[in-house]
Structures are given as C-alpha cells and as structure tokens.
Structure 1
Amino acid sequence: MERLNREYIALLSGTGSASEKFWKLEKRIHEDKRRGGVVMRMSRSNMELNLLSLLSDGVISTAELDGFSEELREKLTFVLRDHRDWDHGDS
C-alpha cells in the first residue's frame, strides 16, 4: 500500500492537466483494487494462492518465506518461475 501511495503521489505530481491526472488516478485505483496486496481473503485454504499473489505482485520476496516449510517454498518458487516464463513466452 505504501508503494502504491507513492506511485499515486507521483502520478498526481506529474505533468498534464488536473482532469487528466484525476482520471488516470481513478483508472489506476480501480485496477489496483483487484491486486493481491490490496484485497485478500485470509484463510488456510487461500494461503498458497495469497502468497503466490503477493510474490508475483512484488509485495513480498521469496526471502520472506523463511518461516514456511521447504516444500511450500519450493512449490511457490516453481509456480512463480513457471508463471513468469509463460508471461514472457519462454515456455
């Protein structure tokens, strides 16, 4: 959230008319509301998907998973790497 706030401030401080900046911010907030770091349903059954979402959005890093099992860390790392490869057309 802190990173998003800084990005919003930068957007509002940038060049362009006040109305252009307003509508860009409105669009950006609308898009960001759906991101994992902003809204999540917390439950055990959603834990892996939540962690994967936080990792892929850059909210947390794999280094921050040290308290979790080796099996879970490997699984998330594999899925994240596979997802990134697919996004870049490397698979």
Structure 2
Amino acid sequence: MLFRGDPSEKDWQLFRKKIRGWQDAYMGKLVQEYMEILQKDVSASERFWTLEERIKKDRKNPGLIVEMSRRRLLSNLANLAAYGVIHKSDLEEFSDKMKKDIEEIMDYNGIDYK
C-alpha cells in the first residue's frame, strides 16, 4: 500500500535540509556532462545547439526543479530516485515508512532502485 496522509515533520524537515545539497551535486554532474559536449571535436555550432537542447531538457528534471510542498514530499523523493539524483543510501535518515513507500513506488514502476 502506498503512503497515505501527510509525511512526518521529521521527514519534511530532513528533505528541506538535504534537497539543496542533492541538487547541487546533481548540477555538478550535469556541468561535467556539458563540458564533455563542449569538448567534442565537432563544429562550434553543433556543440552550441547540442548543449542548448540538453540544457532545455534538463531544466525539467527534478534534480533541478522541485515543488517545495509537504504534500509532494513522497513524489519528489520518488522522482529524485527515479532520475538517479538520490540513492537508497541518501534516505537512511528518513522514517521507515517513507523508505518503504519509496521502495514500493520504485518496484511498482519497475525502476531499479539502488
């Protein structure tokens, strides 16, 4: 059964504390990938348009943008996990209920969650 009701205050506060660090680390990963695009041995215009398209796509990623509301906590964590922004080990401090709910969402959607 999936999560019912509001998340605990502890889980909400923990998420608010951790989200910025998770997003910053993810942005660092993206910057490295962008640098690889810019270093390719192709024309400047091809590098520019490839990078522009990639950034446009990445702007919609939950690793960069999340709706900061308590009611969206579970879906935010599940999306972050699905996109590889966070992993099981990042959720160790969260309640057992929250971890179980995220695990169920990942299993239901067939997402390999490590």
TM above 0.5, yes or no, is yes
Which ranges in structure 2 are unaligned for 5 or more consecutive residues? 1-26
Q: Summarize deviations over 1:12-39 as a string: whole Å, max 9, x none.
A: 1012111001000010000000000111
- How many residues get paired? 85
What SS does structure 2 have at the residue aligned with 1:11? helix
Partners in 2 of 1:83 and 1:54 — Cα distance? Answer: 14
Displacement, 1:81?
A: 2.4
TM-score w.r.t. the length of structure 1 is 0.87
Matched AA of 1:78: E
Which of 53, 65, 80 is 1:39 aligned to?
65
Identity of aligned residues (%): 34
The equivalences for 1:20-59 within 5 A come to 20-59=46-85
Partners in 2 of 1:82 and 1:63 — Cα distance? Answer: 20
Runs of 4+ in 1 over 2 A off after TM superposition: none
Q: Summarize deviations over 1:43-68 as a string: whole Å, max 9, x none.
A: 11111111011101111101111111
Higher relative contact order at CA 8 Å, sep ≥6: structure 1 or structure 2? 2
